[in-house]
Amino acid sequence: MTNILQKGFDTLHQTPPFEHIKEENYLPAFKELIAEAKKKVNEIANNPDEPDFYNTVVALEKCGEKLGIVSHIFFNLNHAETNEQIQSIAREVSPLLTEYSNDIWLNASLFRKIKLVYEHQDMLSLSDEQQKLLEDSYKGFVRKGALLKGNDRKRYREITTELSKLTLQFGENLLAETNAYQLHITDKSELEGLPEGVLEAAAGIAKSEEKEGWMFTLQFPSYVPFMKYAANRELRKQMYMAYSMRGNNENKHDNKSLIKQIVSLRVEKAKLLGYDTHAHFVLEEHMALSPDKVNSFLQELLDASIHVARQDVKEVEEYAHKKGLEGKLQRWDYAFYGEQLKAEKYGLDDEATRPYFRLEKVEEGVFGLATKLYGITFKENKEISKYHDEVKTYEVFDADGTFLSVFYVDYHPRATKQGGAWMTSFRDQHKDGSGDVRPHISIVCNFTRPTENKPSLLTFTEVQTFLHEFGHALHGILSNVTYESLAGTNVYRDFVELPSQIMENWATQKEWLKDVGLHYETGEVIPEEMIQKIIDSENYQSGYAMVRQLSFGMNDMAWHSLGDVFDQDVIAFEQKSMAATELFPTVEGTAFSTGFAHIFDGGYAAGYYGYKWAEVLDADAFEAFKENGIFDKETATKFRKEILERGGTDHPMKLYKAFRGQEPTIEPLLKRSGLIK
């Protein structure tokens, strides 16, 4: 019987038929499709015809298409709906995929052909996109070891295989540690300060575990409100310690040894390829280009914000002392007193705004924003297969009715889902002999769940997160390129956050907030006064928020600027890397790096600074919308044509300048953050 994953899907838009895919299908499919792709690679390498752009570069681009689709399906599920069997398959499959990848990049005959085409590109009539694909292909080979010889080549294979296993293990450990902790409370007096909605959600978690009382977890919709509202300081500390010790508990899920191995192997790989550090290797393919440029950028932002951040913390500490706190303000106190101070200063807190942000209405408003800007529409189609009952599936259409994309949304936390929020794809857009192959795009979040008595009501922060991930989704949905490897979000890491972060700007625009902010019970439009409070409070503690993000970027750069194998103390190294940004006393036993999945189990190694880099771009880009009107069709069309549709078909700065007419400056970001007037 044919494995369902090894043939094309006979479904609407060729979407994955999740209900028919079994765990036991994956491993045989991977093995068969890897063998099939290897055969095609060898055919390209051994083709007796003179190598040219089509029989070499394009042929290689297309040879692993089926394998790519199965990989997308499998690894997306490993993040969003995993189990022990899937995790076990992932551990077996990851090295096989790394080996297959190495078989391509280290194929001397294939590289000779690519090199020949690359060296004679001036004689070819290539479009800009074709030129970019050729350049990326050649650089890809060089950056993945094609120039290595003998033992170096063998060692490169060993390193990349080992890294694929270690990074996967890091993520599994973090998920296990997150799921392992539960705070179970049966005495309501211990829950003073927690709003009714938070208590209702906690009671729901307890009930799902067949327990009385209330249960809190380390998943964000449970953890964050607890830290903001629980008056019981000891319990706040307990929650904080559990969250901040993930991966640092000297147990089988401890991540410190993995960090040592990962950073050591990364620097060894960089040296093999001729780079001083992993950061030098990574940043060659980023807008920033070098560690020096990144470090000076981070330092410039730190210099502009550290004094404001210290003042922010001092203000909260003084307020806390007035409220009876004795001694030093600790990390588990900051959110609690900070939220009270915010409520006092602006008459606003997350719980006051929550009733106005019903998930379904926010979704409607977010989709409606895309319609206003780009003319696209979203139509729910319940016939499209999904990997979990909670997932919603949409078809996306252009203004003229042309089909653009399938769009999956997965909103709520589960024990089978990793924390955080992200956009991904099951298929990227590209063009082939049959026409324009449209993408299958997904966003995965961990938003507040509905309860027995209330629908899912979002905090304002969750509204911003929705807009952020939706911006990434638009990058995928609106992609209009020929080659899959250049489509959608396949761009430099410090450019990829521009389409996501620019969307967050609409969250503080009155016209848009009135569209999405309707009280879930009364239907009352969010009051003008409350909107103004949201806008006024947007820069509350902005210095602290800026420095916190910079500390993550500096931690990342420290780990990936190592010039040698690392065998020091992980915690001591981490503390030194973040010392310049430190605003609180050190807490014994806690660690940040052991839970830093972005850089140890994601694609952000030596690239976390990109969030701030892209903020400079998005603040500057949104100025164009403010100048012309925040729903201005002409500005939006230009952003779509020059940024969203173009993917990675040209250098990001060239794309940005085509939209904006100039390079960005840092002032709009500092001004928006309230750091300069």
Q: Which residues are catalytic?
A: 469
Give the 3-state secondary structure of residue 406.
strand
Its sign, for the CA torsion 372, 376, 378, 379, is positive
Sheet hosting strand 392-397, strand order edge to edge = 377-380, 392-397, 403-410, 440-444, 422-427
Q: How far apart, in Å, do the first and last CA atoms of the chain sit?
A: 69
Alpha helices (runs of H) in 216-330, residue ranges in sequence order: 220-229, 233-244, 256-272, 278-283, 291-322
- Coil vs helix vs strand at 73: helix
For the residues of 128-175, what is the DSSP string, one character each? HHHHHHHHHHHHHHHHTTTT--HHHHHHHHHHHHHHHHHHHHHHHHHH
Which amino acid makes up residue 239? M
Q: Are 533 and 356 in contact (CB under 8 A)?
A: no
Burial class (CB in 10 A: 0-12, 13-18, 19+), 603: exposed
- Residue 245 DSSP symbol: T
* Three-state secondary-structure class, residue 90: helix
Q: Which helix (H) or strand (E) holds 443?
A: strand 440-444
Dihedral pair phi/psi, residue 307, rounded to 5°: -70, -35
Beta strands per DSSP E along 525-591: none
Check residue 485 and report its DSSP letter.
Answer: G
Query: Which run of H or of E encompasses 95?
Result: helix 84-105
* Eight-state DSSP code of residue 434: T
Nearest to 640 by CA among 662, 623, 619, 625: 625
C-beta neighbour count of 47 within 10 angstroms = 15
Helices (H) and strands (E) in the chain, counts: 27, 9
Contact 614, 501 (CB under 8 A): yes
Beta bridge partners of 409: 392, 443
**How many whole angstroms separate alpha carbon 595 and alpha carbon 421?**
15
Closest CA to 155 of 328, 271, 22: 271
Closest by alpha carbon to 13, among 386, 447, 406, 381?
A: 406
Entry field: residues in the chain: 677
Residue with structure tokens 């007096």? 189
For residue 25, count other CB atoms closer than 10 A to its CB.
Answer: 17
Q: How far is CA 414 from CA 191, 214, 220, 222, 447, in A?
A: 24, 17, 11, 12, 10
Please tell me the distance from the alpha carbon of residue 486 to that of residue 136, in angstroms, as a whole number: 9
Query: Which residues, in sequence order, are bridge partners of residue 394?
Result: 380, 407
Q: Tokens for 246?
A: 């993930």
Scanning the structure block, which residue is given the tokens 């993040």? 79
Which three-class secondary structure state does DSSP give residue 377? strand
Strands 403-410 and 440-444, bridge-based pairing:
parallel
